[in-house]
Structure 1
Amino acid sequence: MRNYFNSMKKVKFSLFFLLSVFGLCAQSPILVLEAENADSIHSPARVKSGDGFSNGKYVGGNDRGSYLFFHNVKMEKAGTYEFKTYFNCNGVRRFTVKVNNYPEVECTVNGTAKWDTPPAETAKVLIYLAAGTNTIKITPYPTTSGGPNLDKFEILETSESPLPVPQEGFPITLEAEYAHLYGDLKVKNLEGMSNGRYVGDFNNKNNSYLQFTCVDIPEEGPYELKIFTNDPTGRPLDIQINNYAKTYINVNKSEGKWDQLPTAETSVLIWLDKGLNTISFTESCRYDGPNIDKIEIHETDQTMEKPDIEKPYPESCKEIDEYKISFMGSSVCYGTGATNDYGYAYIYTDLLKQRKQENIGKDWTTSNISIGGNTTQMVLDRWERDLLRDCGRYVFYGLSLGNERNNGTQTDQAAKNYEKGMKQLIRQADSVGIVPVMASNYANGGFNESDYEILKNLNLTIQQWEVPSVNMLGAVDDGAGRWVKAIESDGAHPNSDGHREMSYAIVPSLFDALDAGKTIPQRQESTAYALGKASATQHIEFVPENIVHPFTLSFEVKASSAGTLASFETENGTGNIKIDENGNIVYESPSDGQITSTTSANDEWLCISLTHYYAWGMTQLYVNGVKCGELSEKLVATKFALGGSNAPDKADYRQLFFWRSGMNDKEIAAVAEGKMLRSSLEIYAPLSNESPLLNLAQSTNTLALVENTTSGIASLKERCMLFSPNPVKQGERVNAGCSGIFEIYSVNGMLLDRQTLRNESETISTDALTAGTYVIHSNDTGKIGLLVIY
């Protein structure tokens, strides 16, 4: 009987154990944090793909300098939680978990699988989380072996003994052994030091420094920094906070010998920004530095001026070139696919040189530091090495969704990776005073219908970012996200003509506008401007700054009677947007075709958008974001107008936009919904009654009020010479159809050349002219003509 009861006890214990284990396994995490979705993934760490990992993704390359940072971890209640890490490695690896400004928690794992081979193993540590929003930073322990691959993290409730409640607020203590260590710096053990460790072996020949990142500060202002060091000689240190000017200090001498207690304390007043800060300690290049135990950040009543920004360009930059643009991207940005790699970056550079020669632009220089195959992460990995050493004030990022898919990544995930990577690249440029500009994603021969939808959604998102950007897709799209065949070199690259189309999408005066301090345009409500012929004797005109191939014109109008709402010039005549006798909106092509909407003008506001894809050879008319039809044609528009002598009796206008790119259905619908799309935007005029000619786009182009003639724009055939060929390739000759003296002007009115043709068989030379649009005046006949050179 006794054995029976003992047996029953064992059975009960086993059942209890199994139930406990089952309950533990069945516990649902409160939060799951996917490593690849961290708010910041700092290089050399990078997102990788692998079947068998959570979401098919993990973060590898967690070597010195890398970290993952989550800045919005929300908890309902404060307390101790289990932090479960899913990892992959072979052998022993170490990392730390830092919550808020609390002390780091160390985690050591011993992986048994091959690297990059699932399944992930697990390890857990206990962490303390505050109620509300928390930050969590995961960092490899500063050793040469680095950390494991990281798959995901789970936050679970725990029945283990609770951790002590960490100190909130100040002072904030930062242990030196948990900083990012560079050069010869090493973590050393010494009983009696804070946490039993310190950092030593500064070596001024190997650029030794330690850096604390993501130090969260509630309010900007002065703080007291205390540094605890072991140095009987009192060596100097440079302290840099974010990108402010460095502070030079001599640390106080410690009373003992090297590597012995006690430490000495040195105080210095520093300025910290609200939010996340980076604090770096560097030997002064004259001596090796001290041993560092820890630093503390204290509140202070002392005052100081906010320090000047010191751009962290390397010493090789003796000065920063305020008029230099670094093109940094992948193969298309480099020029691949074009003859002699003369791609869109180089074509645009030549345009900038031309503008300088015509005294309408600054003296810009460019460099191209693009590398074929680069993804956003690859550019992040080489960002400091390549961009900072280029010593320029501006960076033009040219990257593609296609490269983000090169390792087999699904397009939806590739789009997320691209968006996250581009945001980080933009932030890094902003943080050091480099002005970022970016190209949106472009076509790819391998895109299918689903890819195209993802591509359009991603580009629509980029259009609304508050950063200057270029709509490259609208220059080369075939209507399905692939290259127009005539401009394709291969599936990933355009040919020379394709690169030229992409160059036309860049606003010519964009960098001049940025240099002048012109800010990102915001959409403004407008009181409207009347251009109906019953009340106005003038119309609004503008001339694009350079050759226009793809374009989109959009405006809002309220009218009811028949008349011409807008018009534009081409070499073959005038294109018009009208209200016909039936009240319908009609686009009349210079090529004789037309598109008629079913929407009637009945004295209510309509959003009318005309978009032209030159490479594709397609024009589309939209009213209120709905496509009315399309025409196959190729246009080279040289001037645009709203209103005129043939305008409706009453016509009020507002929200005039002109983009140097074609726009798809999602983009046009967004404009009609009142969203602000900025990519390739050359003209944005709210058209208020008070300031009808105000152009808020980041360009230096202007609008003009012009007296009405017989139409909004007089027909070229009536008042202009017709040149042939037009457009013409630079260096080729042009037939003017008549003889006499011809003066050649830039579109801004500068006389560039004067040529005499003795008879009608002689032709105009373009040898001395570069790509662009020119106004040619015949002294003998008084006629003028527009000549486009490419």
Structure 2
Amino acid sequence: MMRVRSLPKFSLVTAIVAVAGLAALEGQKPAAAPRRIAVFGSSVANGTGDDQGKEGYTGRLRELLAPRGWEVLNQSRGGDNTKTMAPRFAPEGAADPSVRYLLPVNPGYVLIGLSLGNEGIQNGATTAAKDAIFSQFEAGIRGFVERSRQHHIVPIVTLCYTRNDFTAVEYEYTRRMNLLINTWDVPSVNFLGAVDDGTGKWAKGFWHDSLHPNAAGHAEIVRTFVPTLFEALEQGKPAPRRSTATGFLHTTGGDRVLTFTPDSSMHPFAFGVTVRAQRDGAVATISGSTLAATMDMKREERGGGRGSLEFEATTLASATAFTSTIGAQGGVWTYKAANGTPVSSGVKADAQPHHLVLSHYTARGETLFFVDGHLAGKTSERLEPTSFALGGAGHRSRQGWPSRIARRA
């Protein structure tokens, strides 16, 4: 926490606390539908790689939502892509009892859980071939969204995630697809931010094999869900939108302008604010617990003459309380990390509006600090935030704005 004698005046034009997952709600209407969510995807959705046998992120989502009155069904099948999953949407004629279809289980909501890996993006030998696979995946996911709505099922799309056989090229296609999906009028959940090592591969200690997360990876993925997402859809709430107001909120005194407390465990997150300053001091404060990571080797017998599989597994545990800040220090925009280390941007904190974003990746243990769209610096840390505050703490002067809260890593 910064301690200064003369404390700042800030104009906070916009603010976002991103809490990994809710990308959009527009296009959804109140659903007079059962509180039943079908997870409709491929092997990761089916729970492959979960060495704890809890059915992967699907089983953990069930545990998260059951106390809230929701039922979660696993209608996934390993190896599926947009082409092979389409026939499982509904049976033609008599249903095959060995196939997990979507419509026969009468869901009110469907979580569409596919990714570019099974679509074959890594197999495209040329740019044209990869572009065709990209377009096929886009058309397929759009098709599932539309078919779901035609049957009065509310769709949610999981964003594309990592694989260890991805190169920088496939990683770029993955990010492009995720950005594209975020422009659609459909809610989405950001899986990539939970398990990405920064190059398109699984974060160390969070993968079971090159294609699947281990139990720790599945646990990180489920934290990308906003627990109240499905209630918001049920109630027909509109999507959060960036304010177009030109004014700002100005406060003076030591009170925080806005605080947000997550109602469940949060790991990956992003926090953004547009601000201008007259002098040094904190714009925002993030507090919670740091996480200590321990790594163990695990061995799994695969059967069928395939021998054993060894993989690393990370366990995260609360360590020490922390308070980090975003603000002006020494006349430049600075992130003060959980251990007190300043990450200085070199960008002057002045009367011009500046967009500050903090993006934290728990699995890979890294926080990135962006100023005006450019990476200003990064630091190694693992955080579990329990409170966000705009205006800092313990300071005498603040100015601020209207805000918006979502979840994203």
TM-score normalised by L of structure 1: 0.41
What is the SS of the residue equivalent to 2:276? strand
1:485 aligned counterpart, secondary structure: coil
Instruction: Specify the SS of the correspondent of 2:44.
Output: helix
Q: What is the rounded CA distance, in whole Å, between the counterparts of 1:439 and 1:395 in structure 2?
A: 10
Structure 2 vs 1, CA of residues 559 and 414 (structure 1 numbering), >3 Å: closer, same or farther? same
Structure 2 contact 158–189 (Cα < 8 Å) conserved: yes
Counterparts of 1:617-766 in structure 2 under 5 Å? 617-647=365-395, 649-659=397-407, 661-662=408-409
Q: 1:421 to 1:428 in 2, by over 3 A?
A: same
Q: How far apart, in 1, do the equivalents of 2:273 and 2:381 lie? A: 22
Deviation per CA, 1:698-735: give whole Å up to 9, x if none: xxxxxxxxxxxxxxxxxxxxxxxxxxxxxxxxxxxxxx
Counterpart selection for 1:342 from 44, 55, 65: 55
**Structure-2 separation of matches of 1:342 and 1:407:** 27
CA contact (8 A) 2:257 2:389 kept: yes
Q: CA deviation at 1:378?
A: 1.6
1:523 CA drift (Å) = 3.0
Q: Which residue, out of 536, 540, 543, partners 2:258?
A: 540
Secondary structure class of the residue paired with 1:338: coil
Paired position in structure 2 for 1:680: none
Matches within 5 A, 1:275-424: 322-339=34-51, 340=53, 342-354=55-67, 356=68, 363-385=69-91, 386-405=101-120, 408-409=123-124, 410-424=129-143
Report the CA distance between 1:522 and its aligned residue: 3.3
Tell me which of 481, 487, 495 is aligned to 2:200.
481
1:501 counterpart = 2:220: yes
**1:645/1:615 CA distance change after superposition, 3 Å:** closer
The one of 578, 601, 607 equivalent to 2:327 is: 578
Q: Structure 2 vs 1, CA of residues 476 and 507 (structure 1 numbering), >3 Å: closer, same or farther? A: same
Q: Secondary structure at the match of 1:322?
A: coil
Distance 2:176 2:323 in 1: 34
> Which residue pairs with 2:144 in the alignment?
425
- CA displacement, residues 181-229 of structure 1 (integer Å, 9 cap, x when unaligned): xxxxxxxxxxxxxxxxxxxxxxxxxxxxxxxxxxxxxxxxxxxxxxxxx
What residue identity is the alignment partner of 2:383? L
Separation in structure 2 between the aligned mates of residue 541 and residue 498 of structure 1, nearest angstrom: 29
> Separation in 1 of the partners of 2:177 and 2:349?
34
What amino acid maps onto 2:73 in structure 1?
Answer: S
1:627/1:648 CA distance change after superposition, 3 Å: farther
Q: Secondary structure at the match of 2:242?
A: coil
The yes-or-no answer on 1:610 pairing with 2:358 is yes
Q: Matches of 2:395 and 2:354 in 1, distance apart?
A: 16
Whether the 8 Å CA contact 2:255–2:394 is kept in 1: the answer is: no
Q: CA deviation at 1:591?
A: 1.7
Distance in 2 between the 1:602 and 1:431 partners?
52
Give the aligned partner of residue 510 of structure 1.
Answer: 229
Aligned mates of 2:196, 2:278 — CA distance in 1: 35
Amino acid at match of 2:109: Y
1:458 partnered with 2:170: no
Q: Distance in 2 between matches of 1:505 and 1:645?
A: 28
Q: Which secondary structure state, in structure 1, belongs to the residue aligned with residue 152 of structure 2?
A: coil
Partners of 2:131 and 2:403 in 1: how far apart?
34
Tell me the CA shift for residue 462 of structure 1: 1.1
How far is 1:655 from its partner?
A: 4.9
* 2:339 alignment counterpart: 591
Q: State the match for 1:523 in structure 2.
A: 242
Q: Contact between 1:567 and 1:642, CA under 8 Å: does it hold in 2? A: yes
The letter for the 2-side match of 1:567 is T
How far the C-alpha of 1:554 sits from its partner, in A, is 0.9
SS in 1 for 2:385: coil
Is contact 1:575–1:589 with CA below 8 Å preserved after alignment? yes
1:343/1:595 CA distance change after superposition, 3 Å: same
CA distance in 1, matches of 2:378, 2:155: 36
* CA apart distance, 1:384: 1.6
Please state whether the residue corresponding to 2:384 is helix, strand or coil: coil
**C-alpha displacement of 1:568:** 1.1
Taking the aligned partners of 2:121 and 2:227, their CA distance within structure 1 comes to: 32
Q: Distance in 1 between matches of 2:396 and 2:372?
A: 20
Distance 1:552 1:644, change over 3 A: closer
Report the equivalent of 1:262.
Answer: none
Distance 1:537-1:655 versus aligned 2 partners, 3 A rule: closer
| Structure showing greater Rg | 1
Q: Which amino acid aligns with 1:592?
A: G
Once residues 603 and 589 of structure 1 are traced to their aligned partners in structure 2, the CA distance between those partners, rounded to angstroms, is 24
Change (3 A) 1:341 1:406: farther
Q: Which has the higher contact order (CA 8 A, sep 6+)?
A: 2
1:557-572 aligned within 5 A: 557-571=275-289, 572=321
Tell me if structure 1 keeps the 8 A contact 2:255–2:391: no
- Secondary structure at the aligned position of 2:350 is classed as coil
Distance in 1, Cα, partners of 2:150 & 2:245 = 35
Residue 403 of structure 1 deviates from its aligned partner by 0.1
Measured in 2, the distance between the counterparts of 1:381 and 1:469 equals 23
Aligned residues of 1:564 and 1:646 also touching (Cα < 8 A): no
Structure 2 counterpart SS, 1:428: helix
Q: CA deviation at 1:602?
A: 1.2
Q: How does 1:93-242 map to 2 (within 5 A)?
A: none
Question: 2-side partners of 1:345 and 1:469: how far apart?
Answer: 16
1:539–1:321: structure 2 CA closer, same or farther, 3 Å change rule? closer
Give, in whole Å, the separation in 2 of the partners of 1:474 and 1:531: 33
Aligned residues: 334
Q: What one-letter code is carried by the residue in structure 2 that aligns with 1:387?
A: L
C-alpha contact (below 8 Å) 2:285/2:393 kept by paired residues: no
Q: Give the conservation status (yes or no) of the 8 Å contact 2:54–2:60.
A: no
- Alpha carbons of 1:616 and 1:372: their partners in 2 closer, same or farther (altered >3 Å)? same
- Report Cα offsets for 1:513-542 as digits up to 9, x if no partner: 1111112333331344425425x7442101
Distance (Å, rounded) in 1 between the aligned partners of 2:259 and 2:398? 19
1:555 aligns with 2:273: yes
* DSSP 3-state at the match of 1:497: helix
CA distance in 2, matches of 1:449, 1:398: 23
| CA spacing shift, 1:644–1:589, aligned 2, 3 Å | closer
Output the CA distance in 2 between the equivalents of 1:378 and 1:639.
Answer: 43
Alignment correspondent of 1:435: 154
* Alpha-carbon offset, residue 458 of structure 1: 1.1
Contact 1:620 1:629 (8 Å CA) reproduced? yes
One-letter amino acid of the counterpart of residue 351, structure 1:
L
RMSD: 2.0
Tell me, in whole angstroms, the C-alpha distance in 1 between the residues paired with 2:228 and 2:255: 31
Matched residues in 2 for 1:538 and 1:576: separation? 13
Kindly indicate whether the alpha-carbon contact (under 8 Å) linking 1:562 and 1:648 is maintained by their aligned counterparts in 2. no
* SS in structure 1 at match of 2:141: helix
Q: Which consecutive residues of structure 1, in runs of 5 or more, have no partner in the other structure? A: 1-310, 312-319, 357-362, 663-790
Distance 1:436-1:658 versus aligned 2 partners, 3 A rule: closer
How far the C-alpha of 1:431 sits from its partner, in A, is 1.4
State how far apart, in whole Å, the 1-side matches of 2:364 and 2:393 are: 33
